[in-house]
Amino acid sequence: MSTTTIGGHTLTVDDEGFLTDPTEWSEEVAAALAEQIGVTLESEHWAILGFLRAEHARTGETPTLRRVSTGMQIPVKRLFELFPVKPAKKMAYVAGLPKPRGCV
């Protein structure tokens, strides 16, 4: 466990850089994390982040891409456009959550 400073926020992260304490997350932190990975947050991104955090709080698990797609009625293709190349991991990162554990 280590800390890193992003956008003036000191954050507790794992070896890869994912936040390990969901309470350190805020909208300002999300914007700073998104900037690090080249994503500009618009309303669709924010809705997805809200869904991820709510599901994680409810179930203790980060939702998979499939879960986000079915739960929010957003086509997977759109998720790849919003968070390019590795959408499941990128959205988890910006939402301040661990990588999803599920296979699908």
Partner 1 sequence: MTTDIGPGTAPLVPSFDTPATGRKLAIICSKGSLDMAYPGLILANAALGEGVEVHLFFTFWGFDIINRKHMADLKFTPLGNPATHMPQGLGGLPGMTAMATHQMRKAIADLDVPDVPDFLEQITGSGGHLWACRMSADMQHLTEDDLYDGVEAIISASDFIEMTEGAQLLFI
Residues that bind partner 1 in the complex, under the rule CB under 8 A = 1-6, 13, 16-18, 33, 36-38, 64-67, 69-70, 75-77, 80, 85-90, 93, 102-104
Residues forming the active site: 103
CB 47 to partner 1: min, Å: 19
CB 44 to partner 1: min, Å: 16
Residue closer to partner 1, measured from CB, 42 or 85: 85
Contact by Cβ (8 Å): 80, 94? no
Rounded Cα distance between 62 and 81, Å, is: 20
Cα distances (Å, whole numbers) of residue 20 to 11, 24, 74: 8, 9, 27
